[in-house]
């Protein structure tokens, strides 16, 4: 990646320039059997659309705080990079009552209703499907995002030294986040072309780094597995082989 990258959005732009067609995130939900693979280009397109939704329809900008109430999921990764593109601070599992925007999965809707600002809900159904009926008081992400623009430009340039992420009781600027991601990539032995399989959640820095930021910083890709504990040892071995995995984090028995 480019040594001058100082925000997560910079890392994504560099990845798009280097090799837009390579896989970036391969997501499995081992409760439903879902598998989704997103190239750098496809992921960047989702990020651009979501950033346009966030900046335009939800009127969010630098200094605003977004409570992210989502599990480890490819759509969660999209929201993390979209928020970074706009300059919004993401609070992982943050208090909706203190947030300007809340983004919720189907299991945290009651908690999310404490937000007096904008509320968006994700059904987390296969292929990004919508709710059968949008939850009361929320916009349905799967309904709102498809019509957004495929290119994004922030109204205000994102300052890499302002808060980008709050997790584990700490707050990281964009530049600090990128620095930590690079350190983690080196520690994990990730280089361009590496394939990291992780079963970790997105509730900690370690889970977020392994599940998104470190592979992105290294020019690698991630196989993000939700509910990995449902696999037998043989099923896990076959996945590691079929996905050409070179490193694992948060994998039972590994």
- pLDDT, one tens digit per residue, over 30-51 is 989 999 999 999 999 999 999 9
Number of domains comprising the chain: 1
The answer to whether residue 223 sits within a structural domain is: yes
Q: Where residue 253 falls among pLDDT bands split at 50, 70, 90?
A: low
- Rg of the chain over Cα atoms, rounded to whole angstroms, equals 17
At 166 the three-state DSSP class reads strand
Long-range contact pairs involving 123-129 (C-beta distance under 8 Å, separation at least 24): 124/70, 124/71, 124/73, 124/75, 126/29, 126/32, 126/34, 126/36, 127/34, 127/36, 128/75
52-55-61 Cα angle (round to 5)? 145
Rounded to the nearest integer, the mean pLDDT of the chain is: 96
The secondary structure of residue 165, as a DSSP letter, is E
Per-residue pLDDT tens over the stretch 174-230? 999 999 999 999 999 999 999 999 998 999 999 999 999 999 999 999 999 998 989
The answer to whether residue 3 sits within a structural domain is: no
Structure tokens at 215: 């592979």
The answer to whether residue 2 sits within a structural domain is: no
> Which single residue is written with the structure tokens 């989702």?
46
The answer to whether residue 215 sits within a structural domain is: yes
For 14, what's the count of Cα atoms within 13 Å in the CB-facing half-sphere? 19
The answer to whether residue 237 sits within a structural domain is: yes
CATH number of the domain that residue 29 is part of: 3.40.50.12780
Q: Which domain holds residue 137?
A: 8-249
The answer to whether residue 254 sits within a structural domain is: no
The answer to whether residue 105 sits within a structural domain is: yes
The answer to whether residue 1 sits within a structural domain is: no
């Amino acid at each position: 990646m480019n040594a001058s990258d100082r925000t997560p959005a910079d890392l994504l732009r560099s990845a798009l320039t280097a090799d837009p067609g390579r896989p970036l995130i391969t997501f499995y939900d081992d409760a439903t059997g879902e598998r989704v693979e997103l190239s750098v280009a496809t992921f960047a397109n989702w990020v651009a659309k979501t950033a346009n939704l966030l900046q335009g329809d939800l009127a969010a900008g630098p200094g605003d705080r977004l409570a992210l109430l989502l599990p480890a999921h490819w759509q969660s990764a999209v929201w993390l990079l979209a928020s970074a593109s706009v300059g919004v601070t993401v609070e992982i599992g943050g208090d909706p009552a203190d947030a300007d925007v809340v983004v919720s999965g189907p299991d945290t809707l009651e908690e999310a209703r404490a937000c007096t600002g904008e509320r968006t809900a994700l059904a987390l159904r296969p292929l990004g499907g919508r709710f059968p009926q949008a939850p009361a008081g929320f916009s349905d992400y799967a309904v709102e995002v498809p019509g957004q623009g495929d290119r994004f430009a922030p109204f205000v340039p994102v300052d890499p030294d302002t808060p980008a992420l709050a997790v584990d009781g700490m707050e990281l600027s964009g530049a600090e986040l990128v620095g930590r991601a690079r350190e983690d990539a080196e520690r994990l032995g990730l280089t361009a072309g590496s394939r990291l399989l992780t079963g970790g959640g997105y509730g900690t820095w370690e889970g977020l780094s392994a599940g998104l930021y470190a592979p992105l910083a290294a020019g690698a890709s991630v196989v993000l597995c939700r509910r990995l504990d449902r696999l037998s040892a043989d099923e896990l071995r076959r996945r590691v082989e079929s996905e050409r995995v070179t490193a694992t984090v948060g994998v039972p028995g590994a």
